[in-house]
Amino acid sequence: MKLLYAPINTRVKFFSVENAPALTAKLNQYGLYRGDSLSVVRMAPLGGPLLVQVNGREIALGREIAEKIIVEIE
């Protein structure tokens, strides 16, 4: 499933990134690595970003980025 469609407050595991190796490097800089457990805290209205909690931190991700992140429900 894509992160964009993950239910709010459900724990998911970061599995991979769809066809974007540069995005993987960018997510690693944010502290988000393959295998990390995360959850969507909030989705901003009107096409705004998702607020994601990972490793005790909150990260805002744009919807285009969230559409490329593949996750599995834990």
Answer positive or negative: Cα dihedral of 31, 64, 51, 37: negative
Grouping H, G, I as helix, E, B as strand and the rest as coil, residue 71 is strand
* Beta-carbon count within 10 A of 51 CB: 16
Predicted confidence pLDDT, tens digits, the chain (74 residues): 999 999 999 999 999 999 888 899 999 998 899 999 999 999 999 999 999 999 899 999 999 999 999 999 98
Segments making up each domain of the chain, as ranges: 3-73
Which of the listed CATH numbers 2.30.30.90, 1.20.120.450, 2.40.110.10, 1.10.10.10 matches domain 3-73? 2.30.30.90
> Are 8 and 40 contacting, i.e. CB atoms less than 8 angstroms apart?
yes
* Chain CA centroid to CA 63, Å: 9
Q: How many CB atoms lie within 10 A of CB 27?
A: 22
**What's the chain's Rg over C-alpha atoms?**
11
